[in-house]
Amino acid sequence: MNSQSAAVDGGTLSSHAVIGAPCWVSLTTRDLEAVQSFYTAVLGWEWRVGKLGDRYRFASVDGVPVAGVSAVRSMGDTAFAWTPFFATDDADRAVSRGYERGGTTALGPISFPPGRAAMLADRDGAVFGIWEGELVTGWEKWRRAAPAFMELHTRNAFDAAMFYAEVLGWASEAEGCCEACYEDESVVLRSEGEIVARIHSGAVESAPDPAIRPRWQIHFAVEDVEACARAALDHGGSLVARAAGRPEITLSDPDGARFVVYARPAG
């Protein structure tokens, strides 16, 4: 499908135009009002209800869409967590490829007009979502502003990159697809030349670490990392870890969902 046919009515961008690229981040919670108050205090988010109904809220900063939050009555034994979503041109095919390559499917594909979504896990158990259809209004601003960055810390970066490349079409011949390459001991994913995600597992000569619990971690760019940490503690969250030698802190919200705040790059 070419770029002209990848837009839907009204010029809104479709997942077909950016195959394999991170296209959204979403959080599950049991209490929408509480989580809205927390992230407003910590990250300055504003909220609105969109096409997915009253149990799903869209967050934005200065008019730029940032993330979505959905309310669920129960998660059973599953932890509340931030989940990255990747664009696909065929949700059914992506789910099938994931299964064939040793992954699992937790949900879907199911219809969420204006698109279809599924939740999967890779071979090591890291959870991610896929989205086929119309992207959120203002998505181009989301990508340019880069309010969120995805990072996978896993046992074997090369093995994980091969899995995602085969499931999501990275480095394929499809127009608009992402490029993946090895840089600075990480697999780096680029969309239209911009770095949008990293996969890492330690130094190249290191053996896979069986103690690592693979997971995608969402990083949010902020002006003041320490102020975000203080606000999180004041509103029922917790400080999980500080990065050594760089302005980056891992926090968790009142439900235990972890996320990272890092200093917004200058310029």
The pLDDT of residue 211 is: 57
Q: Could you identify the residue written with the tokens 């802190």? A: 249
Q: Encode the chain (267 residues) as per-residue pLDDT tens digits.
A: 333 334 434 457 888 888 899 999 999 888 899 999 999 999 999 999 877 777 889 999 888 888 999 988 755 555 789 999 999 999 999 999 999 999 999 888 999 888 999 999 999 999 999 999 998 877 777 776 667 789 999 989 989 999 999 999 987 777 778 888 888 788 999 888 888 899 988 654 455 555 568 999 999 999 999 999 999 999 999 999 999 888 999 999 999 999 999 998 775
With b meaning 16 or more CB within 10 Å and e meaning fewer, what string describes 165-197?
bbbbbbeeeeebbbebeeeeebbbbbbeeeebb
How high is the pLDDT of residue 18? Answer: 87
Write down the pLDDT at residue 129: 96
| pLDDT at 9 (0 to 100) | 40
Residues in the chain: 267
- The pLDDT score that the predictor gives to residue 13 is 83
Task: Measure the CA–CA gap between 60 and 113, rounded to whole angstroms.
Answer: 20
Predicted local confidence at residue 113, as pLDDT: 82
* The pLDDT value given to residue 162: 94
Give pLDDT, residue 61: 87
* Beta-strand runs (E) in the chain: 22-29, 46-49, 56-61, 64-71, 82-87, 104-112, 115-121, 127-133, 148-153, 179-183, 186-191, 194-200, 215-222, 238-242, 248-252, 258-263
pLDDT value of residue 114: 85
pLDDT of residue 1: 34
